Amino acid sequence: MKIRWLLRKKWEEEECLSLSQKWKLSPLLVALILNRGINKEDFEDYLFPSFDKLHDPFLMKGMQEVVERILLSISRRERILIYGDYDVDGITATSLILKFMKDLKFPAYYYIPHRQTEGYGLNKEAIRKASSKGINLIITCDCGTSSLEEIKFARSLGIDVIVTDHHQVSKKLPSDFLIINPHNPECSYPFKELSGVGVAFKLCQAIASRVGFPEERLKTYLDLVAIGTLADIVSLVGENRTLVKLGLEMLPSATTCAGLRALINVAGLSGRKIREREVGYILAPRLNACGRLSLAKTAVKLLLSDSPGEAALLARKLNRENSRRQNLEKKMCEQAEEIISGKIKQVLVVAKESWHPGVVGLVASYLKEKYHRPAIAFSIEKNIARGSARSIPNFSIFDALLNCSDLLTSFGGHEMAAGMTLPADNIKKLEERLNFIASRTLSSDDFTPCKFFDAEIDLREINVELARQLQILSPFGPGNPKPVFLAKNVKVVDSRPLRRGKELVLSDFSKEKQFKAFWFDLTGDGRERKFLPGQVVDIFYFPSLDEWQKGEIRIEIKGAVPSTTFSQ
């Protein structure tokens, strides 16, 4: 796929030097921070994220009423049910509130719907079951904003519902409903990009302030917040950056639960520093696997477990489920390619009856990454299609689906990702309408990925100190991308294949230094880059410290082009 590589803004040398002296950072690091959209007035908050600087949770609309209702429920000794979504964000949010309630000496019940048989959000059958068990209050995690009819139904059975969610709001919310969601148009909370577990944490923070719950104890939940936030791929700026950075510092620590320790061990991460990559690519997929293929409550049980023996059994089960998920994903992606058969439309829509509904989101992600265009994958059963969508910049899939709502039974999500249910007979109509919307919204340039690099730095200039300084900018992710540098005339000294990529030895043009490098084939088709020994290329890369070889640098290759050209 052709990729446009563009240089980010070059900052005035005088401004960088001034800030460099003030913050005792290299001018390069200052330029990198400015390139991430951080104003010079906000350098302190960016460099030194602090729990004390989190926003007051009571700035969120509805928080006061929600806290009062929960405290009333506790005083009455009512039965509370935590109702979570089946993805990692929902699983961690559910586990967090359950841990908090247990620490308040008021244990709650929990329920996670089955992805395949119940689908996303509140459902009436689950509410009936809750009523039969004597539940008085349901608190949702990472869902509920679009479940207005179900909330009314719960009320008719004498059950109050509190919604904690972060998904887009498609219709006006009733003023008498207890909903905390920063995306509510009437909510003036300063930071809108919280994950579901982030909103759940703000609820716990608010209750803690009312009951005198120790702040240090509250901070022990931040590892769960970090995992859920990273898994949901929300923007790592503002409060999200603070919550994730502080949470990652606790992985692992003395307060890490037995379940997380067992998961870290079974994933082969014992003794390693857990960063955003380890969470996103290793831990989160294992927590997600059971929600995709079977029952997400297995992951909740793991995160709540205090028994090392039980935790080890549950972690191994999740590991097996993840292996099964990987095999299913590979097969379904191959079948998706057969369905497309080279007919690349502006919006890719694929559907198949035999597909597992828990894996269609991964198929949509694969197609979006490979072809750089919006993609939807559907699983069909009994003429009901359950789909998952992923999108690209400049095309809000949520807004597009809003314009197709007459074809849908239900939907919800964000600008870049969404889920939906519809009659299978409507798939073709949906595909046609989405492609029509895309033809009016997107230009040819939108289908060419545009990536940025921050500066041209020869490999000879890379050293351990620079690699250490770059970690100050972490955690990396949406809104706070890894710095990428350009090095020209780099020679491939050696190359050997990995499972999904290549391990390389590179040298600069002068042959003064050699570096171990890695390139990962994210689309899995193996065609993006050959990297043959003797080849001379210009590389776009990120240098980091080798986890195992202390004092050694490893180069993570983000892209490469034949020397002296910037088209790929």
Residue pLDDT, tens place only, 440-474: 999 999 999 999 999 999 999 999 999 999 999 99
Output the CA torsion sign for 66, 71, 76, 77. positive
Burial bucket for residue 291 (CB in 10 Å: 0-12, 13-18, 19+): buried
Outline which parts of the chain fall under CATH 3.90.1640.30: 57-215
| C-alpha 380, offset from chain centre | 26
3-state SS of 212-262 is CCCHHHHHCCHHHHHHHHHHCCCCCCHHHHHHHHHHHCCCCCCCCCHHHHH
pLDDT digits (tens, 9 = 90+) for 323-347: 999 999 999 999 999 999 888 999 9
Q: Which tokens go with 169?
A: 């709001």
Identify residue 407 by its one-letter amino acid code: L
Outline which parts of the chain fall under CATH 3.10.310.30: 342-447
Outline which parts of the chain fall under CATH 2.40.50.460: 4-35+451-562
Per-residue pLDDT of the chain (568 residues; tens, 9 = 90+): 678 899 998 888 888 999 999 999 999 999 999 999 999 999 999 999 999 999 999 999 999 999 999 999 999 999 999 999 999 999 999 999 999 999 999 999 999 999 878 888 899 999 999 999 999 999 999 999 989 999 999 999 999 999 999 998 888 899 999 999 999 999 999 999 999 999 999 999 999 999 999 999 999 999 999 999 999 999 999 999 999 999 999 998 888 999 999 999 999 999 888 999 999 999 999 999 998 888 899 999 999 999 999 999 999 999 999 999 999 999 999 999 999 988 899 999 999 998 999 999 999 999 999 999 999 999 999 999 999 999 999 999 999 999 999 999 988 888 899 999 999 999 999 999 999 999 999 999 999 999 999 999 999 999 999 999 999 999 999 999 999 999 999 999 999 888 778 889 999 877 778 899 999 875 554 444 678 888 999 999 999 988 766 678 999 999 998 886 544 4
Architecture of the domain spanning 342-447: Roll (3.10)
Report the distance separating Cα 271 and Cα 329, nearest Å. 30
What are the residues whose beta carbons fall under 8 Å from the beta carbon of 526, sequence distance 6 or more? none
Architecture of the domain spanning 57-215: Alpha-Beta Complex (3.90)
Architecture of the domain spanning 4-35+451-562: Beta Barrel (2.40)
Cis peptide before 174 (omega within 30 of 0): no
